[in-house]
Amino acid sequence: MNKNLIKSILTGMALLTFSVSYSGKVVKESLQPPVLNGQALSVQTTTKYQVQTKITKVWNGGAWVNSDKMTYTYNSNGLLIYDLDQGWNVNAWVNNTTDTFTYDGMNRQITDISTSWIDSINAFIYESKTADSFSGNINTATTFGWSPPSWLPQFRYMVYSYNVHDTLNINQVWSNGAWVNSQRTDSILNSKGLDSLSYISTWVSGKWYVTDKYQFYYDANGNDTLYIHMHGDSLQDLSLAFEQESKYIYSGSQITQLIQNGSYNSTSWFTMAKYTYFYDANGNDTQTTYDTGSSFSNYFIYSYSYNTLTGIQKINITLNTALYPNPMLGTSTLEITAASPAHVQLNIVDMSGNTVLAPKFLDLQAGENSFSIARDNFPSGVYFIVLYGEGVSVTNKLVVQ
């Protein structure tokens, strides 16, 4: 599912930007709202916090004891390039696994190579590799397993995005020399671009069967308040029944997430577990506790430490645009000046917000980029050309005569 709940604050993403309200998920919000008519986005002063370590402790019945430690390394662009997972052994941390990440010129992750520690040879060996490729609005992540001397395909994820939000995720497995459907997630967004509904389907005998449904609720500020999980029978496509719900309670610098399980044949709930998230004055999660059962017995604790980067930081994409001739008679030119290479989506919408042309996906080079927009079958009227990128959107008003 596309929803990143708070408990995944560190999984796969370790760079947080302090403009985040307690939103119930990991986000890097834009440091500036959308701009109208091609105004440049300014450089702003901000503070960024990089998670340096994450230590997990478990409850042994009388005390908290070390269990796991993650250590993170970043490049000069603040991107995660290496993590080390270690386990606690009597009185010292011992190696478990590593991940090494690389990125393209647009800061998109393109490889993740995982290794595992082998005590008998006192070294790390390859375990898996994930390679990402990009085409239009599709990001394909293919995972390979290491079988000396080659990497062999295992599974892949194809993520389809719209307005920089994931709306469809298809998972496939490699079987007998071909990719075979396994599972898919369809997400429906609300008017604010947040997940509203997610459906998970399983591929059985040439057909997709809906097996799970997740419904998400928010307050007026976009903070998670509740999600409900319903589950069904993948082979008979029966009606979905309540499976689990999760409620979020906000109190100052603390968020409590109550997890309740449901009965398949009724709508009654019983408390299963509780996450409690503690934040510092900068909005960083410093500690997460997990307690189980209706009496909330101690189970584990996550503790985080951060590096602080303060100074002038650019937001992800800085764009200047110009549109001419405007009003349009036949063809207009959209000029985009990008501070750095970027992948953006171009939409044309009418005054009611309806999309009038299929979205186009543009790979921008640093510097000036020009694109022609033909009138085609546009009726006379007012339209908006909207560019969506990571952390930014820019809108130009277009008049068609």
Question: At 286, which amino acid appears?
Answer: T
Give the lowest-confidence range in 190-199, 290-299, 375-384: 375-384
Task: With beta carbons less than 8 A apart as the criterion, state whether 38 and 322 touch.
Answer: yes
Residue 235 has pLDDT above 70, yes or no: no
C-alpha angle 243-203-359 in degrees, rounded to nearest 5:
95
**Region 225-236 average pLDDT:** 76
By C-alpha distance, which of 50, 9, 54 is closest to 27?
9
For the stretch 126-160, pLDDT in tens is: 999 999 999 888 999 999 999 999 999 999 999 99
7 by DSSP, 3-state: which?
A: helix
pLDDT of residue 363: 79
Q: Name the range with the highest mean pLDDT among 55-69, 73-87, 317-331.
A: 55-69
Q: What mean pLDDT value characterizes the chain?
A: 78
Give the phi and the psi of residue 112 in degrees, each rounded to 5: -140, 110
Cα 134 to Cα 154: distance, rounded to the nearest angstrom: 19
Enumerate domains of the chain plus CATH numbers. Answer: 6-30+45-313 (2.40.128.720), 319-400 (2.60.40.3080)
Beta-sheet strands, E only, within 64-206:
64-74, 80-89, 92-103, 109-118, 123-135, 138-147, 150-162, 165-175, 178-189, 195-204
pTM: 0.70
pLDDT digits (tens, 9 = 90+) for 312-330: 333 345 667 788 888 887 7
Lowest mean pLDDT among 45-59, 88-102, 254-268, 373-387: 254-268
Q: Is the pLDDT of residue 289 over 90?
A: yes
pLDDT confidence of 244, banded at 50, 70, 90? Answer: confident
pLDDT score at 60 = 92
Q: What pLDDT, on the 0 to 100 scale, is given for residue 377?
A: 65
**DSSP-derived pairing of the beta strands 35-36 and 392-400:** parallel
